[in-house]
Structure 1
Amino acid sequence: MKKILLLLADGFEAVEASVFTDVLGWNKWEGDGSTEVVTVGLRDKLTCTWNFTVVPEKTIDDIQLEEFDALAIPGGFEEAGFYDDAYNEQFLNVIRHFNEQHKPIASICVASLALGKSGILEGLNATTYNHPASIRTEQLKNFGANLQQKRIVQDGHIITSSNPGTAFDVAFLLLEILTSKENVRHVKDLMGFI
């Protein structure tokens, strides 16, 4: 069984988290059965962007990082307090741990800025929310990343993406890394993506 740590910052965007629980959950029950997602936050209760409350299964203090095979992080909104958690040292240390172990790290949209803040994107190809009116791409470059104007960028074991519209593709790419192309095709078919 592959255990995926779904790391949630306060103010995360629910749809960007749910793609991981759905895709990896469908795989658990209908695919090759090899994936299990554990939702983890810095506190017992989190508020999503646009205000509904989520109770993660565990807090960072409750878990052993060594037990997990991959890390997934949804983005969120500054107005909802996303960066208060995403730039917290405890949060960043989780990212650093997975990077040191060369385990897959999948981020959606501005979650790549937490990766950048942690220092792991220095000299790597990456992307983040890239709407022309947004300041996020400049912020990513300031963390030392080589900004790529692509929807999804994979550099080694790290996946970054440019907007919420990439969310399902990022989740399927993580599933492919953890299982196989054939298994992803099977799950996509069952979920109506093929």
Structure 2
Amino acid sequence: MKVLLFCCKGFETMEFAPFVDVMGWARNDYGLATEVITAGFSKTVVSTFGIPILVDKTYDEIDVSEYDALAIPGGFEEFGFYEDAYDERFLNLIQEFDHSHKFIASICVGALPIGASGILKGRKATTYHLGDGRRQKQLAEFGAEVIPDQSVVIDENVITSFCPETASHVAIALLGMLVGSERAQIVAKAMGY
């Protein structure tokens, strides 16, 4: 099972790493066929706080049919996150994953491009909850039914969450969708969750 981990400019490394680690533990220690392929609009994507990450694939090299899931870390506006997150190409990619009934997992404001893509209309979701709920209000403007007090929300094939603290929980939930909840819990327990 392949997870496409798409890195928008200004993504948070804390929200990127759990997908790599959880899927890596599942593959390395438990023989589960989970692979993470990183991607972005350019070969090097600079994260929040200026850490450059060399990705496996650029946008033009992505074939959605090769993947089982899309993972989206959130990021900071002042580091350019929304420039990539709201790019029409990325919104189309999200739509293509959804139309193909593939899993989509986001952390924090990674839910906002999912909302902007239009696939959350009438569906339950959440996003960053602090700052007077400004980001949750934005998500609601995209037509999502925001669940304001739930840290991780799953609606059919889409996982959304509150903030960086939820990152590992989202990655484990995605693993559960890919390999079954019992196996995911074995990996989570081994990792101390």
TM-score by length of 2: 0.96
Matched with 1:172 is 172
Superposed CA deviations along residues 120-142 of structure 1, whole A, max 9, x for unmatched, are 11111110001143410110010
Superposed CA deviations along residues 140-164 of structure 1, whole A, max 9, x for unmatched, are 0100001102101101001100111
Q: Provide the identity percentage.
A: 46
Matched with 1:190 is 190
Matched with 1:140 is 139
2:113 corresponds to 1:114: yes
- Once residues 73 and 142 of structure 2 are traced to their aligned partners in structure 1, the CA distance between those partners, rounded to angstroms, is 19
Q: CA deviation at 1:50?
A: 0.6
Instruction: Give 4+ residue runs of structure 1 displaced > 4 Å after superposition.
Output: none
Q: What secondary structure sits across from 2:48 in the alignment?
A: coil
Unaligned runs of 5+ in 1: none
Q: What secondary structure sits across from 1:50 in the alignment?
A: helix
- Once residues 4 and 147 of structure 2 are traced to their aligned partners in structure 1, the CA distance between those partners, rounded to angstroms, is 26
Q: What secondary structure sits across from 2:108 in the alignment?
A: coil
Q: CA deviation at 1:22?
A: 0.4
Q: Report if the CA contact (8 A) 1:32-1:183 is conserved.
A: no
Unaligned runs of 5+ in 2: none
- Once residues 118 and 89 of structure 1 are traced to their aligned partners in structure 2, the CA distance between those partners, rounded to angstroms, is 8
Which amino acid is 2:169 matched to?
A: D
Matched with 1:155 is 155
Which amino acid is 1:131 matched to?
A: L
The correspondence of residues 36-115 of structure 1 with structure 2, limited to 5 A, is 36-115=35-114
